[in-house]
């Protein structure tokens, strides 16, 4: 299987702080891979190293076959990158912004005009191509920024939290676009903290405290990451009982989900013990990615030396 990205023990430190700690990635070509985790988990730092923007402290890696440490300029020439803050010019029109980015990639003549036309269609901005970017909604700016990142037809595109601050409808529309890109052979790596977006990725890299906790498909993570049985418990006061449940020897983890509790227990016998303790019969449920991340983070905490 060809890989767009491979790393071995990739690490980045800032002084005494380790932002990314010995991560090992293997991301196949032509998929959407989601870098998932809370703010400060190391997602953006990892992405910046892969883009050739930030030099690793140690470890190694290749992006599209180019060495991260020694061929960063070649990496930059072959990828697309969309930062958290859209790098657009508000006093230029949609068409003029795309024209500017086409020039940065040395596109000219009929090729340049064809690419601009393609990106306007991809971003669904045909009716707004002569509109000043400063007057666009955040959702339209988001799609234009994606078009600017793709105008060179890169084989790999990095999107750093591209849907922050936009409406759920805009997020869904945006993910439809990037899934179409992947189906056509472009590899997409996107950082997010939205679980519903992560569900739509073919591969997820879970980050926490600079470490890569897991790298697998959503289904694989749900099937293998929870060491125990996940139950839903509906009680009158979830917040009032959660600490008591966490103290029980057969409960591995417990979290609030809406008006119910998701309780991870050791085994089948624990299910009946939980029912006897609470007076409520728990229901076996399929894990969500939230459940997976909570379990992985809890395991990480337990492995930290005292």
What's the CA gap between 146 and 177, in Å, rounded? 9
pLDDT value of position 82:
92
Rounded to two decimals, what is the model's pTM?
Answer: 0.86
Percent of the chain at pLDDT exceeding 90? 75
**52: confidence class by pLDDT, cuts 50, 70, 90:** very high
Among candidates 120, 118, 126, 132, which has minimal Cα distance to 88?
132
- With 80 as the cut, is the pLDDT of residue 301 above it? no
**306: confidence class by pLDDT, cuts 50, 70, 90:** very low
Among candidates 241, 295, 239, which has minimal Cα distance to 265?
295
Q: Is 209 helix (H, G, I), strand (E, B) or coil?
A: coil
Among candidates 110, 111, 144, 109, which has minimal Cα distance to 126?
144
83 Cβ contact partners less than 8 Å away, ≥ 6 residues apart: 160
**Across 275-290, average pLDDT:** 91
* Mean of the per-residue pLDDT values of the chain: 92
C-alpha torsion angle, residues 268, 273, 275, 277 (rounded to 10): -160
Among candidates 155, 192, 191, 162, which has minimal Cα distance to 177?
162
Identify the bridge partners of residue 257 per DSSP, sorted by sequence position: 260
pLDDT value of position 57:
98
Among candidates 233, 283, 298, which has minimal Cα distance to 259?
233
**1: confidence class by pLDDT, cuts 50, 70, 90:** low
pLDDT in tens, 173-193: 889 989 999 999 999 999 988
**Across 55-81, average pLDDT:** 96
Helix (H) or strand (E) holding 91: none
Please write down the HEC assignment for all residues of 254-277. EEEECCEEEEEECCHHHHHHHHHH
For 205, half-sphere exposure in the C-beta direction (CA atoms, 13 angstrom radius) is 29
- With 60 as the cut, is the pLDDT of residue 231 above it? yes
Among candidates 209, 246, 232, 245, which has minimal Cα distance to 290?
232
User: Is 200 in contact with 214 (CB distance < 8 Å)?
Assistant: no
pLDDT in tens, 110-141: 999 999 999 999 989 999 999 999 999 988 99
The domains of the chain, with CATH numbers, are 3-222 (3.40.50.300), 227-286 (3.30.70)
What's the CA gap between 304 and 306, in Å, rounded? 6
User: Is 66 in contact with 75 (CB distance < 8 Å)?
Assistant: yes
- With 60 as the cut, is the pLDDT of residue 144 above it? yes
């Amino acid at each position: 299987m060809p890989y767009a990205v491979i790393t071995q023990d990739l690490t980045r430190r800032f002084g005494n702080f380790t932002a990314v700690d010995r991560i090992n990635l293997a991301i196949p070509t032509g998929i959407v891979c989601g870098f998932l985790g809370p703010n400060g988990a190391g997602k953006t730092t990892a992405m910046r190293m892969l883009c050739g923007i930030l030099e690793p402290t140690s470890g190694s890696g290749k992006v599209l076959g180019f060495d991260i440490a020694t061929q960063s300029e070649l990496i930059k020439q072959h990828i697309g990158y969309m930062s958290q803050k859209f790098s657009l010019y508000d006093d230029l029109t949609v068409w003029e912004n795309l024209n500017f980015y086409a020039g940065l990639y040395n596109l000219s003549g009929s090729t340049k005009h064809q690419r601009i036309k393609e990106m306007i269609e991809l971003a669904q901005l045909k009716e707004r191509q002569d509109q000043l970017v400063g007057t666009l909604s955040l959702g339209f700016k988001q799609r234009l920024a994606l078009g600017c990142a793709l105008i060179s037809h890169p084989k790999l595109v990095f999107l750093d939290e591209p849907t922050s601050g936009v409406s759920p409808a805009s997020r869904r529309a945006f993910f439809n676009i990037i899934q179409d890109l992947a189906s056509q052979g472009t590899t997409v790596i996107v950082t997010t903290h939205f679980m519903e977006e992560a569900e739509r990725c073919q591969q997820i890299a879970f980050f926490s405290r600079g470490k890569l906790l897991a790298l697998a498909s959503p289904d694989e993570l749900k099937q293998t990451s929870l060491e125990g049985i996940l139950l839903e418990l509906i009680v009158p006061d979830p917040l009032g009982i959660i600490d008591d449940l966490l103290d029980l020897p057969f409960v591995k983890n417990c979290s609030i989900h809406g008006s119910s509790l998701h309780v991870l227990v050791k085994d089948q016998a624990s299910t009946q013990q939980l029912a006897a303790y609470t007076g409520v019969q728990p229901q076996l449920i399929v894990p969500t990615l939230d459940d997976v991340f909570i379990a992985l983070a809890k395991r990480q905490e337990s492995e930290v030396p005292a």
